[in-house]
Amino acid sequence: MTHNANREAWLQEAVRRLEPIFSKAGYAIPPVRVSCGFPASSSPRTTLGQCWPRERSGDGVNEIFISPKLDEPVQLLDTLVHELCHAVDDCFSGHGEDFKGIANALGLEGPARMAHASEELTVRLMMISQELGPYPHQAIVFPPPRPSNVSRNKAKCAQCGYEVTLLKRWASYGAPICPKDNIRMQEAEPETIENTEQTDSDRPARDEIRRAIS
């Protein structure tokens, strides 16, 4: 078991210990720099790792960031293998066929964007995690999303259930007449609209490829 003084040292040593797995699959890990940090172009709540292409680095290397949300070593290594597959491809194919080929050869399974370690690879990662020792970091925990201040007033017909949203600027006029039953609709309690996060899977994939791949 090794003892790494900081997170980056642990992650860089992890890359070194993962090299034989990549070599056996027929791939060489390119020069990479791995750090603990939040993604720059996708949701920090949902993205566990991100790899930047060499052309975006002043040192001409793939820059990989592992989310501070993670502190469990096997999950860290699983995420790192996924991002290293992007580094091998230099982010050119996104989560396309070239990436899938690399990921499958390494022992990742599932949909490409969420490709994760198979049972066999997980056993290897468990062994590596024991060699690395504890990850010197405690996970950052996100609070649940708070409701926004946006609320919508609605009106509903008591007879047929027809429902409409009332805009603030017309609120003083009261509820409208139901177009079906020709009776005045009843105002309902305001509906609070919760904040929503745009996940990486909602973003146009091709636009992100030369920026970063998560």
Based on the domain organization, do 167 and 114 belong to the same domain? no
State whether 115 and 45 are in the same domain.
yes
Q: What is the 3-state secondary structure (H, E, C) of 93-139?
A: CCCCHHHHHHHHHHCEECCHHHCEECHHHHHHHHHHHHHHCCCCCCC
Owning domain of residue 157: 147-194
DSSP reduced 3-state for 12: helix
Identify the burial level of 54 via C-beta atoms within 10 angstroms of its C-beta, where 0-12 means exposed, 13-18 middle and 19 or more buried: middle
Kindly state the tokens that stand for 204.
């146009």
Is 15 strand, coil or helix?
helix
d(CA 178, CA 156): 8
pLDDT value of position 149: 52
Of all residues in the chain, what percent are helix, strand and coil, respectively (each to 5)? 35, 20, 45
Q: What are phi and psi of 194, to 5 degrees?
A: -80, 150
Helix (H, G, I), strand (E, B) or coil at 42: coil
**Cα–Cα distance between 160 and 50 in angstroms, integer?**
51
168 and 80 in a single domain? The answer is no
The confidence score (pLDDT) of residue 188 equals: 73
pLDDT at 194: 41
User: Is 185 found in the same domain as 111?
Assistant: no
Based on the fold, state whether residues 60 and 103 are members of the same structural domain.
yes
Q: What are phi and psi of 46, to 5 degrees?
A: -115, -15
Look at the chain and report how many structural domains it folds into: 2
Between CA 74 and CA 71 the distance in angstroms is 9
Judge whether 209 lies within some domain: no
Q: Walk along the chain (214 residues) and give the pLDDT tens digit of each residue.
A: 666 679 999 999 999 999 999 999 999 999 999 999 998 877 777 889 999 999 999 999 999 999 999 999 999 999 999 999 999 999 999 999 999 999 999 999 999 999 999 999 999 999 999 999 999 999 998 777 665 555 667 888 888 888 888 777 777 778 888 888 888 888 876 554 444 343 333 333 344 444 566 7
What per-residue confidence (pLDDT) applies to 199?
A: 38
Which residue's structure tokens are 């930047």?
A: 52
100 and 55 co-located in one domain: yes
Largest CA distance in the chain: 77
